[in-house]
Amino acid sequence: MGATQTKFAQKIILWAFFCRNTRARSATGIPALIEEAGLVTLSIDAMGGDVGPSVVLPGVAIALRRRPDIKPLLFGRAEAISPVLDSLPALKAVATVIHCDVSVSMEDKPSQALRAGRYKSSMWKAIEAVKTSEAQACVSAGNTGALMAMSKFCLRPMANIERPAIAAIWPNVKSESVVLDVGATIGADAQQLVDFAILGAALARALLAIPRPTVGLLNVGVEEIKGQEEVKEAGKLLKAANLSSLAYHGFVEGDDLGKGVVDVVVTEGFAGNIALKTAEGTAKQIASYLRDAMGRTLMARLGYLLAKGAFDALREKMDPRKVNGGVFLGLNGIVVKSHGGTDAEGFAAAVELAYQMGRNGIIAKIASDLNEFHARAVTAQPSAAQAIGKAV
């Protein structure tokens, strides 16, 4: 092993020991919260994802073992669901299957999915269950564009929200943070960025148990003179609002995501999606480097055996499946999007994320925060009120 690889392996071992000593996390990477009594009903699009029921149902079964108070509603073709469900007796005992003849493919365009699947597809029916209060949250690994289009059409955006956002739970060296938007829309004006900040802070309070989350706007520098005008204007609005639900930190840069400088990072969907995919790729790259370095020599393999427990903790922390699930925020209902190519463990993480959101009443928290912001905007000086008047 060369000197460069040796130093890299030494750093990884130290990082692994650090990861082993970080605070306790749940299976999804989200801190465990005190749970209230009663069942949490989740509507599941069983036909979603690259594989469908053979991954989705085992994922729900894993989540059910961890959260026995989940009541699953499984939407999809009964003939595809039944064989898999028969092999999962614990899930079969508590699940309800709702047959749907139509499913949305991963290749369908949003407009095609709406035309062919509105009112009758497994994806639509799962979302509609949230609208009719039959379920507290919906989970799907299906086509992202179709899921967003159907969610917007069925649930409708909340009052004063022009565009919903997709939020992700992002691991960092301190704990976790919320990052949004990671791909729902391309571009955003100042008011939309402010909306994202309010949505993200509500999610951080509900899932990460942070009473007043710190919020930063992703920018090319931390100085107030840098960046696009929309980002700078959003910073001024957040600073002037001085909301009780969040603490505005200022601008943050790309490397601050991993440092955990703030609890909530806000950006528009183009930059957010690139950041997300870059982080996922970097995690896989480091894992590949680590496997290669640890197997090069006898001493490296011996070092791996001595630090196996720490390496297992590192692998757990870096596993992207543990934070699988993007949350559609800004709608009158909870929808969680799982990665289409995930496995059962990854889908279970998305189900648990939906469970946490349904349990903690995030929609009411978001509505309250939005009302506070817009109430303060009305009483602010005329210039500030005019700046946000379009969204009121």
Digit-coded pLDDT (tens) for 113-160: 888 888 899 999 999 999 999 999 999 999 999 999 999 999 999 988
Query: What residues make up the domain containing 112?
Result: 35-161+330-360
Q: Domain check: are 226 and 284 in the same one?
A: yes
Q: Domain check: are 211 and 153 in the same one?
A: no
Residue 122 placed within a domain: yes
* Number of domains forming the structure of the chain: 2
Residue 351 to residue 107: CA distance in whole angstroms: 23
Choice between 75 and 370, residue whose per-residue pLDDT is larger? 75
Give the DSSP letter string of 204-264: HHHHH--SS-EEEEE-S-SSTT-S-HHHHHHHHHHHHH--TT-EEEEEE-TTHHHHT-SSE
Q: What is the mean pLDDT of the chain?
A: 83
Q: Domain check: are 389 and 260 in the same one?
A: yes
Digit-coded pLDDT (tens) for 164-185: 999 998 888 888 899 998 988 8
Residue 312 placed within a domain: no
Q: Domain check: are 148 and 181 in the same one?
A: no
- 167 bridge partner residues: 180, 327
Q: Domain check: are 283 and 241 in the same one?
A: yes
Residue 60 to residue 54: CA distance in whole angstroms: 11
Q: Is residue 1 helix, strand or coil? A: coil
Q: Which of 133-147, 200-214, 378-392 has the lowest mean pLDDT?
A: 378-392
Q: Domain check: are 118 and 155 in the same one?
A: yes
Is pLDDT of 70 > 90?
yes
- Please tell me the predicted confidence (pLDDT) of residue 379: 62
DSSP code of residue 275: H
Residue 21 placed within a domain: no
Is pLDDT of 84 > 90?
yes
Residue 235 placed within a domain: yes
Is pLDDT of 376 > 90?
no
Residue 313 to residue 321: CA distance in whole angstroms: 14
| Share above pLDDT 70 across residues of the chain, in percent, rounded to a whole number | 85
Q: Domain check: are 190 and 141 in the same one?
A: no
Q: Domain check: are 49 and 134 in the same one?
A: yes
Q: How confident is the model at residue 32 (pLDDT cuts 50, 70, 90)?
A: very low
Residue 85 placed within a domain: yes
Residue 267 placed within a domain: yes
Residue 81 to residue 97: CA distance in whole angstroms: 8
Residue 389 placed within a domain: yes
Is pLDDT of 353 > 60?
yes
| 127: its two tokens | 């979302």
Burial class (CB in 10 A: 0-12, 13-18, 19+), 34: exposed
Residue 8 placed within a domain: no
- Residue 275 is part of a domain; what is its CATH number? 3.40.718.10
Digit-coded pLDDT (tens) for 300-326: 788 778 777 777 776 676 677 777 889
Q: Domain check: are 39 and 143 in the same one?
A: yes
Q: Domain check: are 351 and 369 in the same one?
A: no
Q: Domain check: are 65 and 98 in the same one?
A: yes
Q: Domain check: are 95 and 238 in the same one?
A: no
